[in-house]
Structure 1
Amino acid sequence: MPESRTYLDQPYAAVVSNTPTSDATAPRELARLASADNFRDVAGTGAGYPVAGGGRVRRGVFFRSNELQLTAADAGTLADLGIARIHDLRGQMEIDAHPDVEVPGAVWHHVEVSGIPMEMISGLEDSDAAVRVMCQVYDAFVRAPAARASYAELLTDLATGPVPQLFHCTAGKDRTGWAAALLLEIAGVDRATILDDYLLTNTFSSATRAKYLALIGEHLGADKVAVYEPTMIVEPAFLQTAYDTVTELYGSVDGYLRDGLGLSDDVVALLRSRLVD
């Protein structure tokens, strides 16, 4: 069952506002965390991504990240940003192995989405098999009832809970990447920009990826590095698989939000009002 806990025993409603940060007070430059390299603002850099019909995605409202194995300084940075709620999309085993560092003033919320099944990648023979696994993962984000329930819960809380909010998984690329793509869809960002934003993970997390690939080479052999690399990056085909499943089952992203996730028009409108200046 999802659960919540309040960091440092500070009351959830007493430390934050329900009003989104205005563009005038949002950080203009991208805050970077030394200990969480895929942390970033969903809105993008600069003034925020442009949206259909005018306006831009509002900065300083929603953030995304990889797991929060934070230094004290980086935890302080998140506290300074006013993060009110942290959504952890990881499974319990992932959380037990690497629990989030506490962030003062933030409420932690567990809303699990299944990631890459370890049993499916433990014996990969080639990179094509790894790509197939990743596409199956993205298909399940849309097709699996448990995943739909979790994404519905996440988006509802992003729409109705106090802001700013942050959501993350382990690498911050797949489960988190689909959530970020949905937010940008709701905001009205064009699909090409959403894809470019999604692919930024490959740049932001390059050092972490190199570290883990080196470990694979050391423990499994150099020939396994190329085999496992697709599981550590994002590719257009992965995201497209989720969109294709949306089209197959629901016809459109709007249909998926309404019929797949069960979100009301009011919740979607609340999200868009928070996302767009």
Structure 2
Amino acid sequence: MKTLFILLFVIKFISSKPTSIVLWHGMGDTCCVSFSLGGIKVFLENNIPGVYVTSLRIGNSTVEDFENGYFMNPNYQVEYVCKQLAADPNLKDGFNAIGFSQGSQFLRAVVQRCGHILPPIKNLISLGGQHQGVYGLPHCGALMHPTCDYIRQVLNYAAYDSWVQDALVQATYWHDPLDEETYINKSIFLAEINNELRVNKTYIENLNNLQHFVLVKFDNDTIVQPRETEWFGFYDPGQSKKVVPFYETRLYVEDRLGLRKMHKDGRLVLISTEGDHLRFSDKWLVETIIKPYLLN
């Protein structure tokens, strides 16, 4: 009888272990230092006792990880991460994923391209992700201004040149509303994962296997242009002033990612918060993200 009691206790303990969490940082950040996602990792561990949290490092060091956020083709990064996640035994029972800025669309690509061969991905949380791309780069995050100015100039004049697409991460989600045809045909990452040129049904199926896809928009974002891209909104094609909401975009009207169904089912969750890009309080993170989506 005592042995049975211990066995039942162990089973209950194992079954109640919180779902693991995967983090992917944005431009100008790194995986592991305390003032970047290393601090977020510790915060999550402190607020979800017993949780396993892995913050993705793209490369062999934090320096490489930082540099790869600017100069490693996202298609290679996604492939690299898919292998990382598949090999991590702590994720075998499934996991939640949180993307920060550009890490959001990169994690979405992981879901779409690899979701059927990975353990179940339960909730995907996008914090300030640029899901319809950007058209403007006002502050460039943590970069010093000379490099920032260089990147901005390259994107303005040569974003869709093949060598720029391959060598500069931000070019792969540059979306010029004045030239939609070139964007659709020349963007080697964003247009492809958004099913702009052709529809990949696996992408739709994998995305729709999520329990929730949570999109957080920062209402006073000064880095992402337009900020509505964080909710899949974007400029009306042919001009760069009028921004249309997600439900008026081609992606929604033609349901090229299956998000219309998710939206109607209540599984596509749109959240807005005050503040600049990725500026949120500990309390907000606990009440808005941890409690509803990570304590499962």
Whether the TM-score (by the shorter chain) exceeds 0.5 is no
Q: Which has the larger radius of gyration?
A: 2
Instruction: Specify the TM-score bucket, using the shorter chain as the normaliser.
Output: 0.3 to 0.5
TM-score (normalizing by structure 1): 0.35
Higher relative contact order (CA 8 A, sep 6+): 1
